[in-house]
Structure 1
Amino acid sequence: MDPAPARYIEPFAGGAAIALGLLHSDAVPEAVIGDADPAVAAFWRAALEHPEELADAVCSCDVTLDTWHEQFHLLETADPADVVALGFAAFFLNRTNRSGILRARPIGGLNQDGPYPLDCRFNRADLIRRLELVAQLSKRITLHAGDAIDLLEQRCASDSHEAFVYADPPYLTKSTDLYLDAMSYSKHQLLAEKLNSGYQRWIVSYDCDPRVADDLYCNNNILQFGLRHSAARPHRGHELMAMSTAITMKDETRLLHRAIWHRRVTPLPTAMA
C-alpha cells in the first residue's frame, strides 16, 4: 500500500490478530485497537499495562471446573476498574470455553464428559510467550475501551488520510450467538457512512448477507472469499470484504496476508466474544 499507513485502526478488535500481526511484521508503526465489551477491553488493558500480574495469574491458576465457575462469575460481577481480575477472567474463559466465546460453556461440558478436556487449549508456556510478545509491542498500541463508532469519530480528524482501518463488526445474521451486544442495522449503516465519509483507506469484513452489497457498501468494491469457521460447528463458509475505492485488490492482499501469516502472535483467537 503506497504510501504505507502511519497507523492501523481496528475498532472491533477482539483478539486483535491482524493488529498484532502487522505490528510484529513492522508493516505499520503503531495500532489503535478498540472493543466495546468491558471484559475484552480489560484483558487488553491488563496485557498492555500490567503484563507481569496477568502472567502470574496464568502461571498460578488451576485449570479446573471450580476455577471455571469462579471466572465465569467474575466475568459478570468484577469491578471494571480491576482490569487484572476481569482481564484474567476473560482470558481464562477464552482459553477454556467452546470456540473461545466468553459466555459459552466449557470445553468438555459442565460434566467434563466431552471428547476434549477443559485444559486442552491452556498451554501455559505458549500463552506466557504470547503475552510477552504483546508486552513488547505495548508502546506501539493505543487502546480504546468503548464503542467502535466513537473510536472512528475521535480518530477521524487526525487519521482520515494517514491511517488504514480494518473493521470486523458483528455479523448481520446470528450475531447474538457470538457477541455480547449485536449491532442494530442502523448502526451498521452508520459504520458504513463513517468509513466512506471519514477515511480514505479502509476494509470491512462481513458475512454473506445481500444487504452488504445492495445497501451498506453498494458503491464500494466487494470481494467474496472462503473462510473456515470454528464457532458452534466447524465448517467452511464464505464472507465478504468491502473496501474503499482508494484500495486496490493488490494492496488488500499484500497487507492482510502479511498480517495473517503472523496471527500466532495473538494470545486470543480472532473470534473472541
Structure 2
Amino acid sequence: MKLNTPLRYPGGKNKLSGFIKLIFEQNNLLDGHYVELYAGGAGIAINLLTRGYASCIHLNDANPAIYAFWHSVINQPEAFCKAIQDVEITMKEWQRQKAILDSPAGHSLLEVGFSIFFLNRINRLGILWGGSADGVNQDCHWKLDARFDKVDLIRRIEWIALYRSQIHLYNQNAADFIKTVLPVLPGKTLIHIDHPSFVKGRRLYENHNLHNDHVSIAELVKEHITQHWIVSCDNNPEIIEMYKGYPTTICDFNHNVRHHSKDSEVMFFSKKLIIPSLKNPLNLKSA
C-alpha cells in the first residue's frame, strides 16, 4: 500500500525516498535510525519507517504548530481522526481554523495541530501563513475540499499511528537539536537536514532569517555531527560555498504547483557516506 504523508509541502521531497533507501542499503544503515531536523510533512521519514528501512525515526520541527500536529497524530490519533470526520469544509470553518493558528494560546495541542493540518490541506498551495486561502476566493474552479479526502486522510493517520512507538518527536531549533540530541543517537543513524527554501522562504515559511540559519547550521554540521548526514537546500552560490569540499549532487523539484516551475536544489553529503551512482536522484520510484 502506498502511503503519503498527511501534510502537503511545496517541493515534494518524498520523491527522494527511493534514493534515501539506496543510501540505507549501501551504507549498512538498514534497521538504523533516521533523523529530520526540519520535519514538516516528514514524507521520507514515514516512508522509511513503514517500509522497514529505519527501526525508528526522529522528527524535529521548531514550529510549535507542526510539532502540535505530529504530537496529536502520535498521541491522540483517534481524536484527530474524529476531528477529520466531523469537520465541515466551509470558508467559515477555514476562518475559524485560521484564527486558532494565528492565536494558539488557550488552545490544546490537538486543536492547534488540527488547525495547521486543516489549512495545509485546504490552502491551494499548502502554504500555511498566507493572508487568504491562497486563491480559493479568486479561483471559482478551486473547491475547498479538493485536497481533503476524509477517508484517505484518516487512513494515513491510522497507518502512521501503528508505528507511533518508533517515532520520537522534538520541538527544538536545529542548532540545539544538533548539540543535545544527535550526540546520544547511535552511530548507525542517517541525519537529513532539509532546509526551508532559501529563496522563497519568506513566502512559504515563518522563518525569515534563513541566511543566518544556513551559516550557523553549516558550521555545526561540519564540526559536531559524527554520524552520516545529508543537507539539502536551494542551489545557491552562497550555500554551496558553505559546504565547499563535500560531495554534492544537483536535482530539480517542482515548487510552484500553479505554474509548474522547477527550482534546482543541491544535496551535500558527509565525506564517508557512500552515495548511489545516479544521474538524477529523483528518477527512482519508491513504494
What's the TM-score, normalizing by structure 2?
A: 0.83
Q: Distance in 1 between matches of 2:45 and 2:277?
A: 16
Aligned length: 258
Counterparts in 2 of 1:210 and 1:204: CA distance versus 1, 3 Å: same
What amino acid sits opposite 1:4 in the alignment?
L
Bigger shift: 229-238 or 192-201? 229-238
Per the alignment, residue 207 of structure 1 pairs with 234
Counterparts in 2 of 1:54 and 1:251: CA distance versus 1, 3 Å: farther
Q: Deviations over 1:10-49 (max 9, x none)?
A: 0100000010010011111000001111111100000000
**Which SS does the other structure have where 2:216 is aligned?**
helix
Bigger shift: 14-23 or 191-200? 191-200
Verify: 1:124 aligned to 2:150, yes or no: yes
Select 1:110's aligned residue among 137, 141, 158: 137
**Which SS does the other structure have where 2:198 is aligned?**
coil
Q: CA deviation at 1:233?
A: 3.6
Verify: 1:243 aligned to 2:269, yes or no: yes
Bigger shift: 164-173 or 176-185? 176-185
Per the alignment, residue 159 of structure 1 pairs with 185
**Which SS does the other structure have where 2:190 is aligned?**
strand
Q: Distance in 1 between matches of 2:278 and 2:229?
A: 9
Q: Distance in 1 between matches of 2:110 and 2:124?
A: 23
Q: Relative contact order (alpha carbons < 8 A, sep ≥ 6): 1 or 2 greater?
A: 1
Q: Distance in 1 between matches of 2:213 and 2:88?
A: 41
Q: CA deviation at 1:151?
A: 1.4
Counterparts in 2 of 1:172 and 1:107: CA distance versus 1, 3 Å: closer
Q: Deviations over 1:238-260 (max 9, x none)?
A: 1111111111221899x9988x7
Give aligned-pair identity as a percent: 29
Counterparts in 2 of 1:204 and 1:66: CA distance versus 1, 3 Å: same
Per the alignment, residue 64 of structure 1 pairs with 90
Per the alignment, residue 266 of structure 1 pairs with none
What amino acid sits opposite 1:168 in the alignment?
D
Question: Structure 1: where are the runs of 5+ without partners?
Answer: 263-273
Counterparts in 2 of 1:42 and 1:257: CA distance versus 1, 3 Å: farther
Select 2:207's aligned residue among 166, 181, 206: 181
Does structure 1 conserve the Cα–Cα contact (< 8 Å) formed by 2:61 and 2:173?
yes
Q: Distance in 2 between matches of 1:19 and 1:10?
A: 7
Q: Distance in 2 between matches of 1:168 and 1:252?
A: 20
Q: Distance in 1 between matches of 2:212 and 2:135?
A: 38
Q: Distance in 2 between matches of 1:219 and 1:149?
A: 22
Q: CA deviation at 1:231?
A: 5.1
Q: Distance in 1 between matches of 2:98 and 2:154?
A: 22
5 Å matches for 1:79-90? 79=105, 82-90=108-116
CA RMSD of aligned residues (A): 2.3
Does structure 2 conserve the Cα–Cα contact (< 8 Å) formed by 1:107 and 1:114?
no
Q: CA deviation at 1:199?
A: 2.8
Q: Distance in 2 between matches of 1:199 and 1:76?
A: 38
**Which SS does the other structure have where 1:237 is aligned?**
strand
Q: CA deviation at 1:235?
A: 1.4
Q: Distance in 2 between matches of 1:252 and 1:200?
A: 23
Per the alignment, residue 261 of structure 1 pairs with 286
Counterparts in 2 of 1:161 and 1:81: CA distance versus 1, 3 Å: farther
Select 1:222's aligned residue among 227, 248, 263: 248
What amino acid sits opposite 2:194 in the alignment?
D
**Which SS does the other structure have where 2:88 is aligned?**
coil
Counterparts in 2 of 1:144 and 1:96: CA distance versus 1, 3 Å: same
What's the TM-score, normalizing by structure 1?
A: 0.87
Q: Distance in 2 between matches of 1:155 and 1:189?
A: 20
Per the alignment, residue 19 of structure 2 pairs with none
